[in-house]
Amino acid sequence: MGLIGFYVDVIKALDAIGAPYMIVGAFGASSYGLARATFDVDIIVDLHEAHFTALAERFPPPRYYADPDQMREGTALGIMFNLIDSERGTKADLVPLSREPEYVRAFNRRVRRSFQDEQGATFEAWCARPEDIIVGKLVAWNEGRSKKHPADILAMLQFDFAGLSDMHVDLDYVAESAREIGDEASRLWEDLVTKARSSARAE
């Protein structure tokens, strides 16, 4: 098991110690119809004093690097920190909620979703709602103009409009958020909705 496998281990550890977290980004979107070869696994965490040592104990040395002081400092300063698996040669980055305050609303709305690991086994985890993942991708697109974000949003919308999703995207919620991001993000959102609807009608 590679990168995704280690992230799954971290997610299960967060659940086991009762640490609040939320999956966002492409891996979160995979629960809402996004299918592509590689996924970024983005995890927002809201750790408190009781969680730092408990999480570190789940990943003991020498195989793992999980420094509770780094977690504590990263949380206090709003700096991303990581856990490292030396055997797999992979690391898992955790983003404190204090670094991304715009995610607070999404964090309070997070839901329990089913995912698959690299072996196809199903597990449950806390995930952002589909519209919050889309808003996050609109923000990321607005900052860097990466084409992957509109493509991911379109795939999620097509999945939803085809009647395949068990959780519909709140279109009004995204539209309002897109307007707050800016005119270009709002126009992009309207264009993607139009394309997704056209695709659904064609099928």
| 61 lies in the same domain as 18 | yes
Q: Is the pLDDT reported for residue 4 higher than 50?
A: yes
Q: Which one of 127, 150, 178 terminates a domain?
A: 127
Q: Which of 115-119, 120-124, 128-132, 161-165 has the lowest mean pLDDT?
A: 115-119
pLDDT bracket for residue 192 (50, 70, 90)? very high
Is the model's pLDDT at 123 over the cut of 90? yes
Residue 134 · residue 31 · CB < 8 Å: no
In a shared domain, residues 34 and 109 = yes
Torsion of the alpha carbons at 17, 74, 133 and 106, rounded to the nearest 10: 70
Based on the domain organization, do 192 and 116 belong to the same domain? Answer: no
pLDDT at 1: 46
| Residues 106 and 135 occupy one common structural domain | no
Ramachandran sector of residue 118 (left: φ over 0; alpha: ψ -120 to 50; beta: rest): alpha
pLDDT digits (tens, 9 = 90+) for 72-107: 999 999 999 999 999 999 999 999 999 988 899 999
What domain count does the chain have? 2
- CA-CA distance, 138 to 150, in Å (whole number)? 8
Give the pTM.
0.92
Considering the domain architecture, whether residues 112 and 144 belong to the same structural domain is answered as: no
Tell whether the model's pLDDT for residue 37 goes beyond 70.
no
pLDDT-derived band at 131, boundaries 50, 70, 90: very high
Rounded Cα gap, residues 90 and 6, in angstroms: 7
| Higher pLDDT pick, 71 / 117 | 71
Range of the domain at 151: 130-202
Residue where a domain terminates, one of 127, 161, 177: 127
**Comparing C-alpha atoms, which of 129, 128, 130, 152 is closest to residue 140?**
152
Specify whether 30 is located in the same domain as 116: yes
Residues 102, 161, single domain; the answer is no
- Domain limit, last residue, from 127, 158, 181: 127
Domain co-membership, 123 together with 59: yes
Q: 44: which strand partners?
A: 22, 95
| Residue where the block lists tokens 């519909």 | 168
pLDDT of 2 reads: 60
